[in-house]
Amino acid sequence: MDIKKKRKLILNAAENSIDELIKVMNKRMDPDELDPEKVKISASAYRLAMEDAIALLQRVEEMNEMMNESPKDAKDSFYGVENRVK
């Protein structure tokens, strides 16, 4: 299996993970049924799920850009020493 196929599989898995984290964040908690400590823990879990989803989404976007970048563009974006010295 080549690298591009593996990257696509990883991206698909990451997108599924983001969807699952969104489901966790959409669950409503009922503070009346829980004691304050459990509400605090639940709120902390929601915050962590949000941060993880955002981080995963940024990484997925970076990988999509990297995969869509043509090899010629990648070469043009690297400036060697000879292009820096005038």
Q: For residue 81, is it within any domain?
A: no
Q: What is the mean pLDDT of the chain?
A: 79
Residue 51, domain extent: 3-68
pLDDT tens-digit readout, 23-67? 888 888 776 777 778 878 888 888 888 898 899 899 989 888 888
The DSSP 8-state label assigned to residue 32 in this structure reads T
Q: Distance between CA 25 and CA 14 in Å, rounded?
A: 17
pTM: 0.62
Average pLDDT over residues 80-84: 63
Give a yes or no: residue 83 inside a domain: no
Task: Dig out the tokens for 6 from the structure.
Answer: 């593996």
**Chain centroid offset of residue 80 CA:** 31
Does residue 24 lie within any of the structural domains?
yes
Residue 82 in any domain: the answer is no
CA distance 85 to 6: 39
Number of domains composing the chain: 1
